[in-house]
Amino acid sequence: MYADKTIRCRDCGMDFVFSAGEQEFYASKALVNEPQRCQSCRAVAKQNRALGIAGEPGNGNGNGNGGQREMHAAVCAECGGQALVPFLPRNDRPVYCSNCFDKVRARA
């Protein structure tokens, strides 16, 4: 059967778990390549593709969504995962991923 497998993210270098359930799902969809990015970096890459940001193949100079905000990648101060934020992070202020931001806000 399938067993959880630890994989290093190609973007942020953090280890993530490719669970047995995910492996079973991949097999059921005939997907042969394992994920190369953690969930946070996958979300950032997907967002970058949607926004037409350079570095993603085939996107050119954008897709005409003039109302979209520019998103910036950062490391979450709480969990160390990838965070995608609509502002330019500064070193003197913590940045949180969506999950940790909700937790921090609930504690306040």
pLDDT tens digits for 45-78?
888 887 777 554 444 444 445 556 788 888 999 9
What is the pLDDT, as a whole number, of residue 61?
Answer: 41
Q: Over the stretch 3-35, which tens digit does the pLDDT of each residue have?
A: 999 999 998 889 999 999 999 999 999 999 999
Token pair for 2: 């399938």
Q: What percent of the chain has pLDDT over 90?
A: 38
The more confident residue out of 91 and 42 is 42
Q: What DSSP designation does 42 have?
A: H
Q: Tally the domains of the chain.
A: 1
Label the pairing between strands 15-18 and 82-85: unpaired
The number of angstroms, rounded, from the C-alpha of 48 to the middle of its chain's C-alpha atoms is 10
**Count of CB atoms within 10 A of residue 99's CB?**
14
Instruction: Count CA within 13 A, CB hemisphere, residue 90.
Output: 2
Strands (E), the chain: 5-8, 15-18, 72-75, 82-85
| Domain hosting residue 58, numbered range | 5-107
